[in-house]
Chains A and B, each alone.
Chain A
Amino acid sequence: QQQVKQSPQSLIVQKGGISIINCAYENTAFDYFPWYQQFPGKGPALLIAIRPDVSEKKEGRFTISFNKSAKQFSLHIMDSQPGDSATYFCAASPMDSNYQLIWGAGTKLIIKP
Chain B
Amino acid sequence: GAGVSQSPRYKVAKRGQDVALRCDPISGHVSLFWYQQALGQGPEFLTYFQNEAQLDKSGLPSDRFFAERPEGSVSTLKIQRTQQEDSAVYLCASSRQQNTGELFFGEGSRLTVL
Residues of A within 8 A of B104 (CB): 45
Q: Which residue of chain A lies nearest to B43 when distances are taken between CB atoms in the complex?
A: A103
Whether B99 and A99, one on each chain, are in contact in the complex, defined by CB atoms closer than 8 angstroms, is yes
Whether B48 and A99, one on each chain, are in contact in the complex, defined by CB atoms closer than 8 angstroms, is yes
Whether B62 sits at the interface, judged by CB under 8 Å, is no
Whether B99 and A104, one on each chain, are in contact in the complex, defined by CB atoms closer than 8 angstroms, is no
Whether B40 and A96, one on each chain, are in contact in the complex, defined by CB atoms closer than 8 angstroms, is no
Residues of B within 8 A of A41 (CB): 107
Whether A89 sits at the interface, judged by CB under 8 Å, is yes
Whether A106 and B105, one on each chain, are in contact in the complex, defined by CB atoms closer than 8 angstroms, is no
Q: Which residue of chain A lies nearest to B32 when distances are taken between CB atoms in the complex?
A: A99
Q: How far is the CA of A106 from the CA of B43 in the complex (A)?
A: 9
Chain B residues 69 to 114 lying within 8 A of chain A, measured CB to CB, are 91, 93, 95, 99-108
What is the distance, in angstroms, from A45's C-beta to the closest C-beta of chain B? 7
What is the distance, in angstroms, from B60's C-beta to the closest C-beta of chain A? 14
> How many residues on chain B are close to A (CB under 8 Å)?
25
Whether B56 and A104, one on each chain, are in contact in the complex, defined by CB atoms closer than 8 angstroms, is no
What is the distance, in angstroms, from A104's C-beta to the closest C-beta of chain B? 6
Binary contact track B43-62/A, C-beta < 8 Å → 1, others 0: 11100100000011000000
With contact pairs A43-B93, A99-B48, A99-B56 given, residues A89 and B42 touching in the complex (Cβ less than 8 Å): yes
Of A6, A44, A46, A95, which is within 8 A of B43 by CB? A44
Most central of B4, B40, B56 by chain A CB within 10 Å: B40
Q: Which residue of chain A lies nearest to B99 when distances are taken between CB atoms in the complex?
A: A96
Which chain A residues have a beta carbon within 8 Å of chain B's beta carbons? 6, 32, 34, 41-46, 49, 89, 91, 95-101, 103-106
> What are 21 A-B pairs with beta-carbon distances under 8 A?
A41-B107, A43-B91, A44-B43, A45-B105, A46-B102, A91-B42, A95-B100, A96-B99, A98-B31, A98-B100, A98-B103, A99-B33, A99-B48, A99-B99, A103-B42, A103-B43, A103-B44, A104-B42, A106-B40, A106-B41, A106-B42
